[in-house]
Amino acid sequence: MLALSGYPQSFGAAPRRVVFPSSKKTEFFVGTERVRRLNLVVAAVLLCSVAVALPLQGQGAISAGQTVSGRLDASDYLRDDGTYYDDWFYEGRAGEQISVTQRSSDFDSWLLIGRVVNGVFQLEEFNDDDGGGNDARIDYTLPASGRYVIRVNVVGRGRTGSYTLRVDRLGGGSSGSSSSGGRRVLSAGQSFTGELDSSDPLWTDNTYYELWRYYGRAGERLTIIMRSPSFDSYMQYGRMNGDEFDYLGGSNSRRIGGQQETVLDVTLSETGEYGIRANSHGQYTGQYVLTVSSSGGGGTTTSSGATISRGSTITGSLTPADAQTDSGWYHDDYTFSGTGGQVIQVDLESDDFDTFIDLYQGTRWVAEDDDGGDGLDSRLVYTLPESGNYIICVRSRYANRTGSYRLTLR
């Protein structure tokens, strides 16, 4: 499970409970995160000072014009009222006006926006049903530049289900860059929704585009399908050198059942960060969907080059069939997507060999651990310096060692 550290195990003295007699649903706990369906008029006076001592349930970054999908389930953190929540991060600028909408056909949405102040989530705005029906929406002017936390929550203890979250820029702040408001990051096995509009940058042919990033491995076959009901779609792909896009090629179009879609099907030549420009044939605007799949290289589901998700434990083994370094270490590699500022904990345990963890950001080594766990087991606790894809390299402390292991990402 990916989470930020520095959150106190207890938050001062026992919370004071304040019950407002005007509504049986009005319940407020001063000094903790518990906010149970407040009387909106009375609570608005108090919420500006509410500090939340819960860990962040980091899902990733979301940017203006982007729709992301998620699911609340029993693997998520619980608020004090017994409801699950997910956190998404938005990089904004002072004066920027945004509209955040949370929708679900599975539960009654509850949406919160805040910032992390001195390691504690500071609640600033919340909403229940302003998105229509049981959906939630918040229109908000950002008071300062920096990272904001958008907390997806639910009305009702123990409720689970799927949701979508969308951020739109209404005005203010500074824009004009495809990465304004945070990077758009693709990962294999998922679909992502975007929207071309007049705030997006222009390609050399005066068509709008949005830039997505993907961390790929040498030999990986990457397939991305782009569909839009509003325009004929097109994609360009290239290598990313920082924020510079080095063009490598374009996509092909096809029609399936009368609908036009664009397909980018490439085998990646190098390990590193790639850029995907979602574009159109002509200066059109509207929503689109990118569907990403991968095979070979870093996209396989075998132990070497696989992905690992937050809160999961993978059982694997080092064998002579695995990749081997020049120093003789057999190793398995696992990729995950993280957000800058998150603290991860990686545990590697084995009864067969002395474990060792290397952590890479792209091709750059950033951290390691040998015996931070129990006995000869490894435990790496590390603050991610920025958002993107990271690789956990599982190996033995010594060359030519093999055996079973258990890898956990928290």
pLDDT digits (tens, 9 = 90+) for 228-255: 888 889 999 999 887 788 899 888 877 6
d(CA 186, CA 394): 24
What pTM was estimated for this model as a whole? 0.37
Last-in-domain residue among 102, 136, 171: 171
Taking Cα atoms as reference points, which of 340, 391, 399, 348 lies closest to residue 369?
348
Q: What is the mean pLDDT of the chain?
A: 76
**Structural domain of 25:** 16-171
Average pLDDT over residues 328-349: 87
**Are 81 and 152 in the same domain?**
yes
Residue 134 falls inside a structural domain:
yes
Task: List CB contacts of 374: < 8 A, sequence separation 6 or more.
Answer: 349
**Of 19-28, 89-98, 124-133, 308-317, the least confident:** 19-28
Residue 21 falls inside a structural domain:
yes
Residue 282 C-beta-side C-alpha neighbours within 13 Å? 6
**Are 36 and 122 in the same domain?**
yes
**Are 358 and 260 in the same domain?**
no
**Of 31-35, 326-330, 382-386, the least confident:** 31-35
**Are 241 and 383 in the same domain?**
no
**Are 221 and 315 in the same domain?**
no
**Are 165 and 188 in the same domain?**
no
**Are 254 and 381 in the same domain?**
no
**Are 105 and 148 in the same domain?**
yes
Residue 303 falls inside a structural domain:
no
How many domains in the chain?
Answer: 3
Last-in-domain residue among 298, 317, 344: 298
Residue 303, pLDDT > 50, answer no
For residue 293, what is the enclosing H or E element? Answer: strand 286-295
DSSP, res 15? P
Instruction: Decide: 196 and 248 in contact? Cβ < 8 Å.
Output: no
Residue 42 falls inside a structural domain:
yes
**Are 264 and 340 in the same domain?**
no
37-60: pLDDT as tens digits: 444 434 443 444 344 445 555 567
Say what the pLDDT of residue 96 is.
Answer: 81
CATH number at residue 90: 2.60.120.380
Residue 133 falls inside a structural domain:
yes
Residue 261 falls inside a structural domain:
yes
**Are 208 and 282 in the same domain?**
yes
